[in-house]
Structure formats: structure tokens, C-alpha cells
Amino acid sequence: MISTDICIVGAGPVGLFAVFEAGLLGMRCHLVDYLPQPGGQLTEIYPKKPIYDIPGYPEILAGDLVSEQMKQIAPFNPTFTLGERVETVVKNGQNDFTVTTNDETVINCKVVVIAGGLGVFKPRKPPIDNIEDFERKGVEYMVKDPELFRDKKLVIAGGGDSALDWTIFLSKLAKQITLVHRSKRFRGAPDSVEKVFDLAEKGKIDLRLDSNVTGLTGNGTLDHAVVTNNEGWPEHIAADYFIPLFGLKPELGPIANWGLEIENDAIKVNNALDYQTNIEGIYAIGDINTYPGKLKLILCGYHEAALMAQSAWKLLNPEKKFNLKYTTVNGVNGF
């Protein structure tokens, strides 16, 4: 049996930062993640994707951010159970939980923190009849290695940050990029939208608005995407790869059976205090939680992790007075 102060379910960026905040307060952490390495979506889905909204980094690759966070938490010696999924969380009493994985690893802890453990992510697929025929044969739902697309003809579909960011990034590598969006307006960051329109004006990408990818053709592998505008006119566009970026659909999995209050496939928390769930001692931070005004941003998850750690310390030390200390004064080793 593994014993620790805090068991963190999910080893993504928010879970890793929770280790740092807890470590500053002298609490030990053990992390459990179904993926075989720390980093969550950043490592598994888009390690080479640039991220632009992390303070202090004008641009940092997702995989590099995870590496830097691993260095940041190293002084606190966190332990990991990777490649296993948490199946059950049982509250035995005040500050006493038993967490069990699908491989029967048992963790005894005083606090449980759910940090993005959404289970399996499945891509949201566009309604194209034969799309599955071209999966891994020209259809890719995520960009793991940008080099795969060097000097290739790409058709990217989507209107969010992922579609915009990858269009901008891959425009430096690909032979040809066509970005297809069903509307005239994008949902992504205004700066990214501006960059995409600038690339289109300079002829570096082909921008198709008010359009959808409605079909795929090829003999064994993809060779064309059928793009149809809102007036119903189809056009065959040469494509080595079609990359639909409509997001990922998470499945809660076992989390749904832990007695937590769920709303729209997310865990309700008390954001007015500390991001605690309806069960005392169980917190939810990052994309897994929901509350009025919730923003699914990494930096918001960092903020939630900081408040969670302070609340957890108070929960475990009810007789002690909490004194906020600053790393600028004490450093990391001074805690």
C-alpha cells in the first residue's frame, strides 16, 4: 500500500502544479494517471503544439512545458503510478481515503485531488460517411509530430484555437494548407485569428469560410477532400492529409461512480472557497471541474491548484495558524 498526504488523480500540467503548491506547504503527493507518462493531453496528444498563454513564456511547446514543470516539482519528490486508472475512491473517515486502481494498486491518503482525470478522450468526428476508411491513411485527428506534414498538402477543418494554432504553425512546414471553417467567425484567440487572415491575404494558406468538408476520396490513401460551401457547390481539393480539429470528447468513466455531484460531464465545485466537491476532502481542479464563470485554461487550473493546496493544508492542520509565505523570500528549499 502507498501512503501519502494527497493523491492526485491526473498528472497533467494542473496536477503537476498542484504538487508544487502542496510541496511548498510540506505535503507529500502521489499522482495516478492512465497515460504511461506525466503530462496528460500535452504529452499524449500535442507535445509539439506551441502554447502562447503561459506567463513568462511568449511561446512554449506543450512537451517542453511538461518538462519544465517536472523540474519544478523535483525538490518535493512526488511519486507516480502511471498506466493505471483509478477505479474507486472510498472515504473511510475524516482525512482518510482509500484509492484503488484497475491494477489493484492501493493508495491511502488524507486528501484526494481530481486534476483532469476525464478518462479516455475521443475525437469529435465530422459527419463524413467514409471518414473511417481513411483513418491513419490520410485522416489524422491530432498533430503529434509536425514533421509528418512537412512538404505535404493539408486540409484542416475547425474554428477553434487548435485549428488556428496548427494552421499558423504548419504553414511553415507544409507545401499547401487549406483551412475550412463552417462560419465567417472563429472561436479562437483574436491574435490567432488575425494571424490566419494575414496568412490568407499573403497567399500562404487557402482560407475557405462558410464551408464544410463533406467528402473524402482516394484509392487506399487520401488524395482529395471535398469542400462544399453554404451555397452547395462542391470542390475537390488535393490533400495528402485531412486534419479535422473539432476537439475531443471526454468520458468520465469511473469518476461518475464516486458519489460526486456531476453537471454536464464535469464535477461541480465550490469556487467561492477552495474548489472542494460535495465530499469533504475531495477537490477537483482543472478542466474536470465546473462552476459559474469557469474558463478551461491551464493558467486558471494553476490558480485553482494554489487555492486547493492552502485549503487542504488547513483541513489537515486545523489547530495550526496558516501563514502565507512567498517563494521570493524563502525560495523553494526554504519551505
pLDDT value of residue 119: 54
pLDDT value of residue 44: 77
In tens, the pLDDT along 180-212 reads 999 999 998 899 999 999 999 999 999 999 999
| Helices within the chain (DSSP H only) | 13-24, 41-44, 62-73, 161-170, 190-201, 298-316, 327-330
Higher pLDDT, 120 or 34: 34
- The domains of the chain are located at 2-121+248-330, 125-244
Q: Looking up cell 502544479, which residue turns up?
A: 17
pLDDT value of residue 326: 62
pLDDT value of residue 115: 95
The pLDDT mean for the chain works out to: 92
Backbone angles phi, psi at 88, to 5 degrees: -135, 145
User: At residue 84, does pLDDT exceed 80?
Assistant: yes
pLDDT value of residue 332: 66
pLDDT value of residue 253: 81
> Measuring CA to CA, which residue among 97, 128, 127 is closest to residue 32?
97
pLDDT value of residue 27: 97
Give Cα separations from 320 to 5, 109, 313 (angstroms). Answer: 17, 20, 9
The CATH number assigned to the domain with range 125-244 reads 3.50.50.60
**What is the average pLDDT across 283-296?**
95
Do 2-121+248-330 and 125-244 fold alike per CATH?
A: yes
Least confident of 109-113, 149-153, 327-331: 327-331
Arch. (CATH architecture) of 2-121+248-330? 3-Layer(bba) Sandwich (3.50)
In tens, the pLDDT along 141-184 reads 988 789 999 999 999 999 998 899 999 999 999 999 999 999 99
Sorting pLDDT into bands at 50, 70 and 90, what band is 315?
very high
**What is the average pLDDT across 201-224?**
97
Residue 136 sits at the vertex; the CA angle it makes with 133 and 137, to the nearest 5 degrees, is 65
Higher pLDDT, 297 or 253: 297
pLDDT value of residue 94: 93
Sorting pLDDT into bands at 50, 70 and 90, what band is 334?
low
The grid coordinates of residue 296 equal: 478551461
